[in-house]
Amino acid sequence: MASGAVTALPTRDAHRDPVLLLPLAVAAGLAVGWLGVHERIAGTRIAADLALSWALIGASLVVLERPRWRRARWLLAATPFALLGADLEWASSHALWTLGFLLEGLWAAFLVQLVVTFPEGRPWSRPARVAVVAAYMLTLGGQLVGVLVAPDTRDMLSVTSSPSLADAIDRAQATAGACLAVGVLFLALQRVRVLGLPARRAQGPLLVGTAITALADLVWLGWVIGTRARVPTLENTTRAVAMTIPVGIVIGIGWSRLRRPQTSELVVELRSEVVATMRERLARALGDPTLDVAYRLTHGRYVDADGRPIELPQQADRAVTAVSVRGEEIAALIHDPALLDEPALVESVRATAALVIENERLAAEVRSQLAEVRASRGRIVAAGDAERRRIERNLHDGAQQRLVTLSVALGLEAARADRAAADVLARAQDEVEQAIGELRELARGIHPTLLRDEGLTSAVEALARRAPLPVTVESSVQGRLPDQIELAAYFVVSEALTNVVKHASATDASVLLEREPTTLRVTVTDDGVGGARITSESGLAGLRDRLEALDATLSIDSEAGRGTNVSTVFPCGS
């Protein structure tokens, strides 16, 4: 032998791969077929059993391409052997007949288990688990009891030959079998309802096949119960109908394959502007409307397209596929785990998405940073408001209280003093009262008590009452609004009215507070000289941060000679 590495030929492991069972199944089928012919069994019956057996083994080979469907694959491979084993009843040999009798319904139990644990081998639900247990008890258990009393001379395990008892057991089995068929029908229909779109695509045909087979079984078993007669045509038809189960599995896989687009088509589709968002384009390409795209930011957090943070799901009902460029993860696709059964599709979408997703990721990162800036500005404004409340309360509880006490004391002393001293004391009291008034105005400007206690309308009405010109207030605000919005709206009105008083030469003004389903609109109008604009020194400009933190927009309409209209719109859900 020449030098060099010895390469082991790939070996097929019969424990992992049912492909080796194919010749065995063909041989077993042929043997059973020969047995049937030899024993003069009806050709239709032999054909039905062979067709169903080989369809099942064929489906088990097609399922090979789905790694997650391993258990289903083994059930698909085992069922034909159970079915052909049951046909040993055709033999004249006592041992083969007895074995065939014991195996009679096992294949049906295998099919029930296959269907209600499809595709991953775990029962869908507790009722599904009950159905599997019931199927085995009914078939294996029923035959074990039946073999003790079967009125057939080939029965090696017969204890007593009792046709009436055997008939009763048959009828009980048929009745329980009909109930099981109803249960499986219900489970299949329910399963169709709860599956996501990708899973429905892959498993739908199987579920339809299951429902049809359960219905055919019901007809057959109903006939058996009702007439006590076995009609070969019905029995053969039921077996032929059961072929819809393996055929359904193959159709499901074929259907998923058919809609697998080429990479070039994917590039076009993912770059298409027809569908608005990358999420929608990917969802369409993968046929999974529940798909989400999580963009990975440089510091490892994930955000959606709008820059909102999202967590990758941990639960088993969602799957995550990473999208990477040059080894660096740039996004994650969160999708229906059924898509894992189409690894080639997911891989081609993943590879294509990597080419086109980078821009989206950068945009999401910018949006995320903007959201952070906005949130941070909101926090700064909120902290400022809290500080304003604290200062207002300190002024009220401290300096204002002391001045008030001083003022009352001065008044008291003035009443007791002689005229000259009383005059001095009265003037002192006036000064103190003026200081109290100024302090009160200052406190109101810092944080108005009435706004905190009674809300926007009352506080704005108080502003209007204190204004030195007539101000009408109309409000459709019912109840309270978020603190920050109330405070910002109040300051807008306060600053706008201050401007009216200082600059507009107006004879009257009006304030309109309009609550709409998703907004609050605050409008301050005067009949003054107009020509106003927002300069960097104006009080309204000072509210910019506060308004932007709330996504509010402020506009001013002030044509010379036509008065001024200051309008602010706050986004404000109900």
Q: What count of Cα atoms within 13 Å lies in the side-chain half-sphere of residue 162?
A: 13
Please tell me the distance from the alpha carbon of residue 90 to that of residue 440, in angstroms, as a whole number.
107
**How far apart are CB 462 and another protein at their closest, in Å?**
5
Q: What is the DSSP letter of 309?
A: B
* Residue whose token pair is 């057939």: 152
- Give the residues across from 555 on adjacent strands: 567
Please tell me the distance from the alpha carbon of residue 265 to that of residue 276, in angstroms, as a whole number.
18
Residue 465, interface with another protein (CB under 8 A)?
A: yes
Q: What count of Cα atoms within 13 Å lies in the side-chain half-sphere of residue 193?
A: 6
Residue 494, interface with another protein (CB under 8 A)?
A: no
Instruction: Tell me which stretch binds another protein (CB under 8 A): 86-94, 212-220, 344-352, 462-470.
Output: 462-470
Long-range contacts of 477-482 (CB under 8 A, 24+ apart): 477/513, 477/515, 477/520, 478/515, 479/455, 480/455, 481/455, 481/456, 481/515, 481/520, 481/572, 482/572
**How far apart are CB 449 and another protein at their closest, in Å?**
5
Span 310-329, contacts to another protein by CB under 8 A: none
| Beta-carbon contacts of residue 166 (< 8 Å; ≥ 6 apart) | 146, 149, 150, 151
**How far apart are CB 303 and another protein at their closest, in Å?**
45
Contact pattern from residue 406 through residue 425 relative to another protein, giving x for each residue in contact according to CB under 8 A and a dash for the rest: -xxx-xx--xx---------
Out of 263, 405, 476, 518, the only residue in the binding site for another protein (CB under 8 A) is 405
Question: Given the complex with another protein, which of 472 and 553 has the nearer CB atom?
Answer: 472
- Give the residues across from 526 on adjacent strands: 509, 564
Span 365-404, contacts to another protein by CB under 8 A: 396-397, 400-404
Question: Given the complex with another protein, which of 277 and 405 has the nearer CB atom?
Answer: 405
Residue 225, interface with another protein (CB under 8 A)?
A: no
**How far apart are CB 466 and another protein at their closest, in Å?**
7
Amino acid at 242: A
Question: Given the complex with another protein, which of 458 and 538 has the nearer CB atom?
Answer: 458
Question: Given the complex with another protein, which of 182 and 450 has the nearer CB atom?
Answer: 450
**Coil, strand, or helix at residue 388?**
helix
Alpha helix (H) residue ranges in 87-162: 94-102, 106-116, 126-136, 142-149
**How far apart are CB 514 and another protein at their closest, in Å?**
21
**How far apart are CB 510 and another protein at their closest, in Å?**
20
Residue 233, interface with another protein (CB under 8 A)?
A: no
CA neighbor of 395 nearest in space, from 430, 339, 444: 444
Please tell me the distance from the alpha carbon of residue 360 to that of residue 331, in angstroms, as a whole number.
10
**How far apart are CB 444 and another protein at their closest, in Å?**
7
Quickly count: other Cβ atoms within 10 Å of residue 42's Cβ.
Answer: 12
Amino acid at 86: A
Question: Given the complex with another protein, which of 190 and 458 has the nearer CB atom?
Answer: 458
Query: In a 10 Å sphere around its CB, with 0-12 CB exposed, 13-18 middle and 19+ buried, how is residue 465 labelled?
Result: exposed
**How far apart are CB 430 and another protein at their closest, in Å?**
11
Contact pattern from residue 437 through residue 456 relative to another protein, giving x for each residue in contact according to CB under 8 A and a dash for the rest: ---x---x---xxx--xx--
**How far apart are CB 490 and another protein at their closest, in Å?**
13
Span 30-89, contacts to another protein by CB under 8 A: none
| Beta-carbon contacts of residue 164 (< 8 Å; ≥ 6 apart) | none
**How far apart are CB 468 and another protein at their closest, in Å?**
15
**How far apart are CB 465 and another protein at their closest, in Å?**
7
Residue 307, interface with another protein (CB under 8 A)?
A: no
Question: Given the complex with another protein, which of 248 and 455 has the nearer CB atom?
Answer: 455
- Give the residues across from 324 on adjacent strands: 329
Quickly count: other Cβ atoms within 10 Å of residue 126's Cβ.
Answer: 8
Question: Given the complex with another protein, which of 368 and 429 has the nearer CB atom?
Answer: 429
- Residue 527 and residue 506 in contact, taking contact as beta carbons nearer than 8 Å: yes
Question: Given the complex with another protein, which of 416 and 533 has the nearer CB atom?
Answer: 416
How many chain residues touch another protein (CB under 8 A)? 31
Question: Given the complex with another protein, which of 173 and 407 has the nearer CB atom?
Answer: 407
**How far apart are CB 361 and another protein at their closest, in Å?**
52
Query: In a 10 Å sphere around its CB, with 0-12 CB exposed, 13-18 middle and 19+ buried, how is residue 54 labelled?
Result: middle
Question: Given the complex with another protein, which of 141 and 411 has the nearer CB atom?
Answer: 411
Question: Given the complex with another protein, which of 433 and 557 has the nearer CB atom?
Answer: 433
Question: Given the complex with another protein, which of 370 and 409 has the nearer CB atom?
Answer: 409
Question: Given the complex with another protein, which of 299 and 465 has the nearer CB atom?
Answer: 465
Residue 467, interface with another protein (CB under 8 A)?
A: no
Q: Strands, E, within 246-318: which ranges?
A: 292-296, 302-303
**Coil, strand, or helix at residue 322?**
strand
Please tell me the distance from the alpha carbon of residue 524 to that of residue 164, in angstroms, as a whole number.
98
Per the rule left: phi > 0, alpha: psi between -120 and 50, beta: everything else, 55 is alpha
**How far apart are CB 460 and another protein at their closest, in Å?**
11
Out of 145, 215, 428, 436, the only residue in the binding site for another protein (CB under 8 A) is 436
Contact residues: another protein, CB under 8 A: 396-397, 400-405, 407-409, 411-412, 415-416, 432-433, 436, 440, 444, 448-450, 453-454, 458-459, 461-462, 465-466
